[in-house]
A and B are shown apart, each in its own frame.
Chain A
Amino acid sequence: MKQLGFHFNAKKCLGCFTCAMACKNMYHQPTAVTWRKLYNLDDPIYPYAFRGFYSLACNHCETPACLRACPVGAYAKRDTDGVVIHDQNKCIGCGNCIRSCPFGAPQYNEELKKAEKCSFCWQRLDQNLEPACVLSCPVNAIEIIDVSTNNMEPTQAPPGIQFPEGFPESKELNPSIRFTLPKTPDLLCSGPFSTKIAKAKKDNS
């Protein structure tokens, strides 16, 4: 069955917050609510502070914790593409989905006294338009993939790691997200520079 998800390319991601702001531009959530968030990667994961990021929203899991936690059935998973939708008309604001999702996707809207989360811009999807975040990314670090056709194996690297370091390993939920890991620059020249070799290389080229 078709299952849409995000491929987040941390190698490309600039940590520029454009995706998060593009989401707010589209849906005007209250200031404290952000459907898409940027997470700064800590030292053991990326060795330079505030230079490596994960940009995450809802992972539209195969077995969504939110859908299972919600007592009023406000969550639904679309048959057509596996997108997990939260129906705010049904929501009673119990907060159970917020507690249950290990990825922090559902958030509490203090103004509406209800939960809400990333919708994968399903209304836009249905009109063949890209989700706001995907469209906004200046370097295409967020892409839509169909994880069911498995052009990206969960363990295959690169691209497409499902549970990189710094991301909750909730296997039973099977989040529909794949990552490409960030990289660091190398040393330009590790040993002494050899003019001879350089000359030979130049002559050969």
Chain B
Amino acid sequence: MKPVKEIPLVLLTIFTQAAIGLSLWATFFLYSYPDGIYLFTPVIPGVALVILTVGLISSVFHLGHPLGGIRSMGNLKFSWLSKEILAFGVYGVMLVTDLVLQLNGVSSLPIQVLVCLCGSVALYTSSRIYRNAGYPALNNFIPLLSFVGTSVLLGLGLLNMGFLGFFVMSTEVSAVLGQTLFWTLIIFTVIHFLIPVYWLTGNRVMRTTSVNHFRSILFWTRGLLSIWAIGLFIFSNQNPTLYIFWLIFIGEVTGRVLFFNHMAHASENIGKSFV
């Protein structure tokens, strides 16, 4: 796989996961702190919808024949890719529903929970695509972990941006959100460094993947970006600035490029010992 070819997939996964994260966190905070947030509420499904659409549109460019994307739900019985398209479709429809309702002044909790549920299912289908026999290093919980990480971090980050004043938080909520982001960032930074260590305990293909990671500039860049963001958090009295959001965003993109380009494929190892 040529690196550049996977850029559409990087954008697809990052953007869709950010949208899902936004839906999840927004729902969580809105109902946990109903008084701490002042919000033009349709902005949440609106922004999520825009991001989702950008992700989905960019994804067709990884197809040799982008117009054929229209047929990509052709194997719902088996293909996680077909299921993913369906799941994102449903998630998108739910977002539209939520958006329309909110524009009409109706904020329905069941609908919003349904949005979150559909988003989570879509995220899961996405992670299943990469859980395949071709990549022993990924044929486990790691894609899901990685995708959840992106979703959680970018969702929080987006929520934090305030959307040009459509979204105002009380100091209390802002502090909780900042704290959550801070600790989530720490957790996923640790995970970032632990995953290749975990791979070292696996078979030869997993070990190769691990070595690929440790030898990759992208791996260390992503790690440093995360540490940088954590550092800024600490020195800015845990005030999640826009600057930090961009650090996290670039970190996630870097991590995703890493994900697509540094995985050793089982077939690369044929003829060599797999133990």
Q: Do chains A and B touch in the complex (CB under 8 A)?
A: yes
Q: Is the CB of B80 within 8 A of A69?
A: yes
- Contacts A45-B271, A165-B273 hold; do A103 and B266 have CB atoms under 8 A apart? yes
Partner of A103 from B63, B129, B267 at Cβ < 8 Å? B267
Q: Is the CB of A71 within 8 A of B79?
A: yes
Partner of A113 from B65, B72, B134 at Cβ < 8 Å? B65
CB-contacts of B94-142 with A (<8 A) = 129-130, 132-136
Q: Is the CB of A41 within 8 A of B132?
A: no
Partner of A71 from B1, B64, B82, B136 at Cβ < 8 Å? B82
Instruction: Determine how close the nearest CB of chain A comes to the CB of B131; give it in whole angstroms.
Output: 10
Q: Is the CB of B135 within 8 A of A99?
A: yes
Q: Is the CB of B68 within 8 A of A93?
A: yes
Q: Which of B62, B135, B266, B268 has the most CB of A within 10 A?
A: B266
Cα A112 to Cα B64 with chains together (Å):
8
Q: Is the CB of B79 within 8 A of A99?
A: no
Partner of B272 from A42, A73, A98, A99 at Cβ < 8 Å? A42
Cα A173 to Cα B135 with chains together (Å):
14
Interface flag for B235 (CB, 8 Å): no
Q: Is the CB of A92 within 8 A of B266?
A: no
Q: Is the CB of A65 within 8 A of B134?
A: yes
Instruction: Determine how close the nearest CB of chain B comes to the CB of A65; give it in whole angstroms.
Output: 5
Q: Is the CB of A114 within 8 A of B132?
A: no
Partner of A92 from B71, B132, B136, B268 at Cβ < 8 Å? B71
Interface flag for B69 (CB, 8 Å): yes
Q: Mark A44-77, 1 if CB is under 8 A from B, else 0.
A: 1100000001101000000001011111110000
Q: Mark A163-178, 1 if CB is under 8 A from B, else 0.
A: 0011111101100000
CB-contacts of B239-275 with A (<8 A) = 265-275
Cα A69 to Cα B133 with chains together (Å):
11
How many chain B residues touch A (Cβ–Cβ < 8 Å)? 37
Cβ of A39: which chain B residues have Cβ within 8 Å of it? 270-271
Cα A113 to Cα B67 with chains together (Å):
12
Q: Is the CB of B133 within 8 A of A166?
A: no
Q: Is the CB of A168 within 8 A of B64?
A: no
Q: Is the CB of A72 within 8 A of B270?
A: no
Q: Mark A76-97, 1 if CB is under 8 A from B, else 0.
A: 0000000000000011111110
Interface flag for B81 (CB, 8 Å): yes
Interface flag for A102 (CB, 8 Å): yes
Interface flag for B218 (CB, 8 Å): no
19 contacts between A and B (CB under 8 A): A54-B271, A67-B78, A71-B71, A72-B68, A72-B74, A92-B72, A94-B62, A94-B72, A94-B81, A96-B81, A98-B134, A99-B135, A102-B134, A104-B270, A166-B269, A166-B271, A166-B272, A168-B136, A169-B274
Q: A-B pairs with the 3 shortest C-beta distances?
A: A93-B64, A104-B267, A113-B64
Residues of A bordering B, CB below 8 Å: 39-42, 44-45, 53-54, 56, 65, 67-73, 90-96, 98-104, 108, 112-114, 165-170, 172-173
